[in-house]
Amino acid sequence: MNNQQIEFDRALIQRHDGKGPRYTSYPTADRFGAMAASDYLGRLTQRQPGTLTHPLSLYFHIPFCDTICYYCACNKIITKDRSRAERYLDYLEREMDLQCADLQYKPRVKQLHFGGGTPTFLSDAQFERLMGAIRQRFDLDPAGEFSIEIDPRKVSVEMVCLLADLGLNRMSVGVQDFTPEVQKAVNRVQSEAETRIVIDAARSAGFRSINLDLIYGLPLQTPARVRDTLATVIDIRPERIALYNYAHLPDRFPPQRRINDDELPSAEVKLDILQASIEQLLAAGYCYIGMDHFALPDDELSVAQRHGRLHRNFQGYSTHADCDLMAFGASAIGKMGAAYVQNHRSVDDYYSALDAGTLPVTRGMTLSADDLLRRAVIQSLMCQFELVFQPFEIAYLVDFRGYFAEELRRLAELEADGLVEIGYDRITVTAKGRLLVRSVAMVFDRYLGTAATSARYSKLI
């Protein structure tokens, strides 16, 4: 069966649409505990050139935005003072120096991602400075994937060309919705014209791939309005599309308190929007990658999924399997071997740690053998919609059916509902179950199990 097929079963979705993790990591970040910077540095120094060294990815968190989008749940600072970015770059350079101090070689980087906030809050000169600082300390692979999140309201054609000249080759463009009434309701007024200008400039400058971010479930959205937005997006023809479900959590994210609850679409209307959107994207030739991601058939994500090489990390789906991740900036999360690490969320705490000459590490987790096995199982389900037992038995020295006897018993309940098929040697997520793949993955998450735990997560659909 084609692993990019999908079938929308409304009754099944309504029955299983609870809350759960998005599994950009396993264990999930809410499981992290206190971690000393020395523990992380010890893992860094274990990285040596050789056949067993994982590829390296870098992430830089730029927290600044000059306007607030009411739906946003990111760790950000709203300011129009560009000088704050200059100081932040000073500290990013200090952090890079501390992380690289004991490395015996210049690490080769396969992936680089700038997120935020709004990374293009930085001026042209500031971005040149940051890329120069990165190249001084890291060897960027010419064939690597170097991406940036873009707010097209804040980017000139000249800056797009500069980003390409500096080596960036992938761009994720925030759109959310093109309907003027919806844009006003979430304080993100962005015309189709200014969005196209940035995308056209990126293509002319040689960017290999464009992703457009959309959100369904925003105030004043209707199936017709989202259909019109998608028609425009399909005409733009980005290589990738992310269609996120808006999670309204005003108690956790204060900017969302400015959204009028009465203007939010009902659960029924959200399902109408999702079903129509999936049908529209598939009819336009996009492949369903997983969760909320779609890609054209010849895009690297689609190809990687067909060949069993798709991976999932903190930035979502990726073609680079199991990279180590060095992360920089306030709240940034990294992964080194069998450990996760996260920096202080507060910029002031981030600065204070670096002023004291220590890495701004505050939380993390060292994974057990069981964690590593379950992480691989969840990755396979989330990325390939299938899991064959034998490779796990060979790699982790377990009898799969024996080790996961309780999980397979619980999975049989999902099989009865048509979400999965359990064979003698494999588990396959059905076309009906793919929208609910998080429910399937949750069966293998040993940290779940209480209502208090699940309350921290977003709705599955």
The domain locations on the chain are: 1-27+368-461, 31-325
Give the angle 361-446-309 at the CA atoms, nearest 5°: 75
> 100 is written with which tokens?
């690289």
List average pLDDT for each run of 10 residues in the chain, which is 461 residues long: 73 85 88 89 74 79 94 91 95 96 86 94 96 96 94 94 97 96 96 96 96 97 98 98 93 92 94 95 95 93 89 81 88 91 96 96 94 94 94 96 97 95 96 92 86 58 68
> 83 is written with which tokens?
């000088």
Residue 412's identity, in one-letter code, is A
**What's phi and psi for 130, nearest 5 deg?**
-65, -45
Q: How many residues does the chain have?
A: 461
Mark residue 289 as left, alpha or beta (left: phi above 0; alpha: psi -120 to 50; beta: remaining).
alpha
> Can you give the C-alpha Rg of the chain in angstroms?
22
Strand 209-216 and strand 170-176: the pairing is: parallel
Query: In this predicted structure, what is the pLDDT of residue 451?
Result: 44
Preceding peptide of 449 cis, ω within 30° = no
Residue 381: how many CB atoms within 10 A of its CB? 25
Mark residue 75 as left, alpha or beta (left: phi above 0; alpha: psi -120 to 50; beta: remaining).
beta
The answer to whether residues 227 and 186 touch, using CB atoms and an 8 Å cutoff, is: no
Query: In this predicted structure, what is the pLDDT of residue 314?
Result: 80
- What CATH number belongs to 31-325? 3.30.750.200
**Strand, coil or helix: what is 387?**
strand
Query: In this predicted structure, what is the pLDDT of residue 4?
Result: 61
**Strand, coil or helix: what is 23?**
coil
Tell me which residue has tokens 């930085």: 122
Give 3-state DSSP helix, strand, coil % of the chain, rounded to 5: 40, 20, 35
The answer to whether residues 440 and 420 touch, using CB atoms and an 8 Å cutoff, is: yes
> 405 is written with which tokens?
């006897």
> 240 is written with which tokens?
């990738």
Fold (topology level) of 1-27+368-461: Arc Repressor Mutant, subunit A (1.10.10)
**What's phi and psi for 168, nearest 5 deg?**
-75, 140
Q: Do 1-27+368-461 and 31-325 fold alike per CATH?
A: no
> 167 is written with which tokens?
């080596």
Exposure string (b/e) for 341-365, b if CB count within 10 Å is 16 or more? bbbbeebeebbebbeeeebbbbbbb
Query: In this predicted structure, what is the pLDDT of residue 129?
Result: 98
CA distances (Å), origin 288, targets 202, 296, 373:
24, 9, 26
Query: In this predicted structure, what is the pLDDT of residue 51?
Result: 45
